[in-house]
Structure 1
């Protein structure tokens, strides 16, 4: 009898293990508004509630990958003052900071509440040294606001959503997945498309779409529903169309160039995410990224990574 019970228990256990191994890895994509106006400063609260309820095992952020030397070659003198400052700081610290891998890992193994100011300073300097902007920002936030996070809204996706989620889920690292290798070329195409669109109706079409997108968000924003509204498929498609110049009535050289570089950026971001997901044993992954990228990323995942289950925030 004992032998039969042991056999049955082992058989049931093997079924559970096989089921877990065959479970499809899942990616939830949340499209963000980046920085929101003061009048809608609480817009990220409902999004944070959703994210906490989902309980992701990994969080992916729109920050350059530390080893992406092509992106950093552009960003060190590029559009962002913050990235320029960070690169300069990282370049300097690489020459002076005494980085110790064992100490770094030991500190990361501590609970957030057990990290003192010296621990946080060492981790912050380590992330600067490693050129890991996403986690440098995370631990700088923790040092400034503590493990409960900012009491007042920061009005930005990082302070109001990403970092509070990481703290709530006790995740010591966020995963950088952005790619800005051709951002310069994208903006050149944008400028050309804008100049070409003065007389061919393109700019008028863009203004109409932009106004439609803005007006439709007014009522949801008043009732703290801006995040949910932004993540409606219709809203995401409008944002995608504006960012990829898909709204044009007359396709021009500049618009084609801008679209090409926007699509390629989405392709590389999707590749960065998929590489991390497929190399992981985790099941539940959450991507937090500018809303204009969501439709493009979904398309890339469906075409190139069909084994991954990809779900948009509002469709979960």
Structure 2
């Protein structure tokens, strides 16, 4: 397959590019570099610095590169920001996705893989989360992802498009070898923040609440390695051959780790202390969230190669230790 990876210079997209190569596919990267890093793109991979709003350019790329399938990772992901500036997130996450889908129709490309999120299920869902649970997001970010899921359902029914939707839990880790990894600005994810403390880049971190109904009182979350996520996306390709196919999968290990477990594991892997202060609970933080990924395992033959939190953090530590300031292209 020749695959257009939209957002291919971002965290998950860049890992997927390498997994596509490993699986024998030919990736083409499209990214406007608002959040992505050009240094994350492998040498020799065709790259277009283009915004999805430029429909003429996107259509030209789809046709010229003879794209078979589009993978879409280009989204703004900061939940707090989405509540403060929802139109920014709706423009990027929804309007530009609609523009991309229109461009695909114009170019005759009808296979689509979409990066969604477990936040579409909301705080009322009880773990483990299944694909059958109703969409009840509680943030503008989660709502943008849910809206695109609904749009894709209608597009598959109306236009014969085929789509696979993957709802991530907590994408984590870095590529084996430490060549690429997680570099967000600002960084809001727990594992890289804990590693930054271990590296001395932060004095300490905050733990938001320690009286949840969990074994150690801190929130439980499902962390899944970014390469495992990427392999699941690629495994769905054969199922998109039939027109009108609409698939949804939850991706997680199904074994959650608490905030304190993450801190202790980072200390174990790094050999460095990770001091923290307790802080008040945050609105919207549920006690526990983890995936039921039986559907992905059964239908796609997906089996995470990094099933433990330690194995995931070991790869993240290697990346951050060798790239303490992230990518050089800032």
Structure with the larger helix share? 1
The alignment's TM-score, normalised by the length of structure 2, stands at 0.23
Answer 1 or 2: higher relative contact order, Cα 8 Å, separation at least 6.
Answer: 1
The alignment's TM-score, normalised by the length of structure 1, stands at 0.23
State which structure, 1 or 2, has the greater radius of gyration over its C-alpha atoms. 1
Structure with the larger strand share? 2
